[in-house]
Chain A
Amino acid sequence: MKRFLVFVKKEFLHIFRDVRTMIILFLIPGALILLFGFVVNTDLKNATVSFLDLSRDEMTVKLTDKICSSGFFFRGENLDSYQEIDQALRGNKIKAVIIFEKDFSRKLISDGKATVNIITDGSEPNMATMATNYISAIIADFNSELVTNGTTATLLVQPEVRMFYNPSLKSQHMFVPGVITLIMILICALMTSITITREKEFGTMEALLVSPLKPIQIILGKIVPYFILSFVDVIIILLLSRYVFDLPVKGSIILLLAETMLYILMSLSLGILISSVVNTMQQAIFISLVGMMLPAILLSGFIYPIGNMPKIYDWISAIMPPRYFIIIIKNVMIKGTGFSYIWKETLFLVLFTLFAIVLSIRKFNIRLQ
C-alpha cells in the first residue's frame, strides 16, 4: 500500500508540473462552460424585425407593439412595399419581416380572420425557425386576448408552442450536460492514455514493470489522480452552472454525482484500453480525439438531436456511451427524475465499463507474455 501511495504521489507531481495538463484539467472545463453559456447562445434575443403594414389600422399597430415589446425583437425600419423585403433581408441585420395584409382590421371583424405573413432569412435556419415560433406564439397570445375581449370568436393563427422543462428556452440547459459529458471523455480517456503511453515511450514503464509494483497497482495509480481531479471538475462545472447560469440540479445531487463517478470510471477504463493497444502518445491522442471526442460531440445528441440523424448514425450512436450519459444527466439535472427512469442507461454504462476493463486486462497480460 505504501508503494502504491508513493506511486500516486508521483502521478500528482507529473500533473501539477505540466502546464498543458493543468490547462486541460482546470482551464478548459470552465472556459468551455462559459463559452457555451454566453457565446454559443442559441436563445433568441433582440432579433430585429421589420414590418410591412399595408393597412395601418388599430389592430396592426396593437400587434406590432405587442411583438416589439415582447423582449425578443427589436423594431426595424418600416417597409413600404413588397419590393423592399428582399433588400431588407439581404442587409443581414433584419432577421424577419412581418406583413399585415390590406384592410386587416376590417377583414378580422367581418370575416373573422385576417392574414399575417412572416418572412424569415432562411440562410440562418436556426434563427429563422426560432423567430417564426416566437412570433407565432405572440400572435396566438394576441388572439386569445381578442377572444377574451369578445371582439371576435375566431382565431387568426393557432400555433401550439410550449417548451417542456425549459420554459425560458435557456440553451445552458442543453450545454451544461453536454460539456460535462465532453470534458470527462477528454480528461479521462485522453489524459490517462497519454500518461500511460508516455511511460512506454520514455522507457520508464519498463522500470516500473520490473519493480515490485504489480501491474494492477500501476494502472490504479494512473487512474486515481485523474479520478479525483475530474470529480473536482464536475463539481466546478455544477457550481458554475448553479451560480452563473442559475441552473440548479433538480433531481437528487447524490444520484447525479454517483452517475458521474460511473461515467468517469467508464472514460478512464476507455483510456486504459486505448493505451493498451497503442505504443506512442501520438496514436493515443489520435484515437482519443477522433474515436472518442468527435462521437461525443456529434453523435451523442449533445448538439444535434439523434432523432434527426439518418438511421445509420442512430445505430452507431447507440453504442456510444456519451449518448447514454447525456440522457442520464439531463434526466437528473433538468427533469429531476429518479433512478427508475435511467436504470437502463446506467446498466449500459456499467456493462461498457466492465467490457473495457476486461479487455484491457487481457491485452496487458498478453503483452507481458
Chain B
Amino acid sequence: MKNTVISVRNLVKKFGNFIANDNLTFEVYKGEIFGFLGANGAGKTTAIRILSGLSKPTSGEVIVAGFDARKQPEQIKKNIGYMCQKFSLYEDLTVKENIMLYGGIYGMKKQLIRDRTRSLLERLQFEEYGDRLIAALPLGLKQKLAFSVAVLHEPKIVFLDEPTGGVDPITRRQFWEMIYETAARGITVFVTTHYMDEAEYCDRVSIMNEGKIEALDTPAGLKKQYQAGSIEEVFISIARPGKN
C-alpha cells in the first residue's frame, strides 16, 4: 500500500477568465521523486503555490501532508520545505546565521539546529565555510546549501522550483545525489525542471500543457506510451504548439 502525501482532485484555479490550472488530478507518494514538467506558462508555478499553501484553489480538493490547502495552509507550511529558482539564502548573513534563521523560523530548538548544522556542514564538506558570508560562496555551493536548509526541519515534502538553474553539470549531478539521499530518508521531493535529462532521474513525471496534466507515468512508461527514445521527445510531442 503506497502512502499518499499529496492528493489533488479536480483542482481548478482561475484568474478572472484565465484558467491557470484546469481540472488537475494526481497523487504523490511518500519518499517519491516527483518530476513536474511543463513549458513556461503551463501552470506549474500556480500549482506549486497552491500546494505550498500560498494561494487558494478556485475549486477542487487539495490535501498536502494530510492538511487541506483551502482551510489549513498554515499547517501545510509547517510540514513542507521550499526552494525556489531564485536563490533564497541571505547574502549578507553567514552560512551558520542563515541556517539558524530558517531553523528558528520553522520552530526548531537551538540545540537541534546546532547539531544538524554540524552534520550538514560535514556532509557537504564545507566545515570551513560555516562563518563565511553567503555572498562569498560560489553558486554551486549556494544551491546545495539552499537545498540542505530547505530540508533542515525534516519536512514531509520538499518543493524544488527549478533548483538547478544556472549551475554547472558537476554540481547538478551532486545536487541530484542529494535529492536521492533525501528521498531515501522518506522525504518526498516535488521538483520542476527544464532539464530533460533530470526528468529521467525522477520516479514519476507529469507533463503539463496549457493548464492541464497531459501525461503522468514513470519515465520508462512515458517513453513506451509515446514511442519515444527520451523524455525530451515525449515533452516536445506534448508541448508542441498546434499539435492537435
Contacts and interface: CB of A to CB of B under 8 A. Distances in A.
Interface residues of B, number: 30
Nearest to B80: A210
Given A13-B92, A18-B92, A212-B107, A6 B101 contact: yes
Contacts of B159: 210
Contact of A10 (B83, B101, B106): B101
A62 interface: no
A207 B56 contact: no
Contact of A203 (B53, B84, B93, B104): B84
Interface in B143-173: 159
B77 interface: yes
A126 B85 CA distance: 59
B104 A3 contact: yes
Contacts of A211: 77, 82, 102, 105-106
A7 interface: yes
B100 interface: yes
B26 interface: no
Main secondary structure of the interface of B (DSSP, over half): loop
Contact of B105 (A3, A13, A203): A3
Nearest to B100: A6
A14 B92 contact: yes
B218 interface: no
Main secondary structure of the interface of A (DSSP, over half): helix
A219 to B, nearest CB: 15
B101 A207 contact: no
Contacts of A203: 84-88
A56 B119 CA distance: 97
A150 to B, nearest CB: 79
B55 A368 contact: yes
A134 B85 CA distance: 69
Contacts, number: 76
Contacts of B87: 202-203
B74 interface: yes
Nearest to A16: B92
Nearest to B149: A207
B182 interface: no
Nearest to A10: B101
Interface in B95-112: 97, 100-102, 104-107
A212 B56 contact: no
A7 B101 contact: yes
A210 B106 contact: no
A7 B105 contact: yes
A204 interface: yes
B209 interface: no
Contacts of A14: 90, 92-93
A209 B53 CA distance: 9
Most A CB contacts (10 A, CB to CB) among B89, B101, B102, B159 go to B101
B121 interface: no
Interface string A189-212: 000000000000011101111111
B167 to A, nearest CB: 16
A311 interface: no
Interface in A292-343: none
B139 interface: no
Interface in A164-222: 202-204, 206-214
Most A CB contacts (10 A, CB to CB) among B84, B90, B97, B107 go to B90
Nearest to B15: A369
Contacts of A214: 74
Nearest to A209: B54
B152 to A, nearest CB: 12
Contact of A212 (B77, B83, B85): B77
Contacts of A90: none
Contacts of A10: 90, 93, 97, 101
Contacts of A3: 104-107
Given A2-B107, A6-B104, A369 B93 contact: no
Interface string B44-67: 000000001111100000000000
B78 interface: yes
Nearest to B85: A203
Interface of B: 52-56, 74, 77-78, 80, 82-93, 97, 100-102, 104-107, 159
Given A17-B92, A202-B90, A210-B77, 15 more contacts: A3-B106, A9-B101, A10-B90, A13-B93, A17-B93, A202-B88, A203-B85, A206-B86, A207-B84, A207-B102, A210-B54, A210-B80, A211-B105, A212-B78, A212-B107
5 contacts: A5-B104, A202-B88, A204-B88, A210-B53, A212-B74
